[in-house]
Amino acid sequence: MNDKIDLTQLMTDFQSELQETKDIKEALENILVQNVDDIKDFVDTEKIISELVKSTQPLSTIKNLSDSCKIDDILENTLNQFEHIFEDETINVFKELIKYDKTIIVNDVQVFIKIYSILQILNLHKISIEKLDELENENSENRGIAKTKLKVNEAIQPRINTFKNANKYNKIPVNELSHRLYEEFDKEPREINAMLETLDTSTIKNIEKSLLDTLDNQQVFLNSSESIEDIHIFKSAQIYCFTPYKKENNKEFTKEKLAKYSNQILNDFFEYEYNSNLNRNHISKPIQHKTYFNQIAILEFQTPKNIKKHPIFY
């Protein structure tokens, strides 16, 4: 799978469209139309574009903070979107972070966009940890790659052999697709994992329902591109927590302060089950995509020994 997306060029094109149209919705639609021509015969591009544009509608409600803003009310709206009672110290941290935020309308109320986005992704990570824990109680078939004790190629080889043999005696589309899927996963696990986790099968055109069901069913086993633990998901949450504020570094808002604020939010939200010990050095570390799991992108700190290319973008 070499058809990766040039994210830098895509963002440059979007900014050009935005400057010309002065409208987020129109600019996004134009960019999407320009970039889906190659796949329009295979997927319902109109549905994809419609859903993506719909998901960006709240962006049109973004506003800068003004003296007339009722800060406490907006913060309360923001925190009320989540079933969690925040400590006073964490609320004080949010009040500091408000200085670097804007507002947006979510669920018909005004919220702080960065704080809301962070808490939303942290909540998805918490849910994913719960999902990973549930896999421990499943049989080996349903634990999938995420909880395998084997190397990835060792874990999927029996399935490759099974579908290969099935094709010998019963060469039907479902067996052929499954065999090809596992063969491709063996060669490019990150790319196939990304495809399965981000693909909306309802948008695929001219394909039998049995084949769509096959993709959904095999995703149960191919639920990650590598074995992961709950601590990997928590470390990903750490990265998401401070990333929106990395560019705010100044004399008043230092990396040390950002790390301290992030630790407070994380320890509170995850109810001190993990010890977040971020420091200023973590804020400066390069980050990268680790895998998709439970339909979220798990991030990790990049080191000289673990460098990975993104499965979708370059």
Helices (H), the chain: 7-21, 24-35, 45-55, 71-79, 88-97, 113-135, 140-143, 152-169, 173-187, 189-198, 209-219, 230-242, 255-269, 280-284
Residue 143 is assigned to a structural domain of this protein: no
Q: Give the closest residue to 245 by CA, choosing from 293, 198, 280.
A: 280
Residue 64 is assigned to a structural domain of this protein: no
Residue 307 is assigned to a structural domain of this protein: no
Residue 20 is assigned to a structural domain of this protein: yes
- CA 231/CA 301 separation, integer angstroms: 13
Residues 113 and 247 reside in one and the same domain = yes
pLDDT at site 200:
83
pLDDT, tens digit (0-9, with 9 covering 90-100), for 209-251: 888 889 889 999 999 999 999 999 999 999 999 999 998 867 8
Residues 104 and 236 reside in one and the same domain = yes
Q: Which two structure tokens, joined as six digits, stand for 58?
A: 């709240």
pLDDT in tens, the chain (314 residues): 446 766 677 677 767 877 888 777 777 777 777 776 666 766 777 887 788 778 777 778 888 887 667 999 999 999 999 999 999 999 999 999 999 999 999 999 999 999 999 999 999 999 999 999 999 888 877 899 999 999 999 999 999 999 999 988 888 888 899 999 999 999 999 999 999 998 888 888 878 888 888 988 999 999 999 999 999 999 999 999 999 999 886 788 999 999 999 999 999 999 999 999 999 999 999 999 999 999 999 999 999 999 999 888 76
- Which of 174, 201, 219 is the endpoint of a domain? 219
pLDDT at site 1:
44
- CA 267/CA 260 separation, integer angstroms: 11
Report the predicted TM-score, pTM, of the whole model to 2 decimal places: 0.89
Is residue 153 within 8 A of residue 227, CB to CB? The reply is no
Total domain count, the chain:
3
Residues 117 and 233 reside in one and the same domain = yes
Residue whose tokens read 């069913």: 217
Residues 288 and 163 reside in one and the same domain = no
Residues 212 and 232 reside in one and the same domain = no
Q: Which amino acid does the sequence have at 262? A: S
Cα 113-196-59 angle, rounded to 5 deg: 20
Residues 116 and 251 reside in one and the same domain = yes
Residues 242 and 191 reside in one and the same domain = no
Q: Which domain holds residue 161?
A: 150-219
pLDDT at site 38:
64
Residues 156 and 211 reside in one and the same domain = yes
Is residue 104 within 8 A of residue 61, CB to CB? The reply is yes
Is residue 178 within 8 A of residue 164, CB to CB? The reply is no
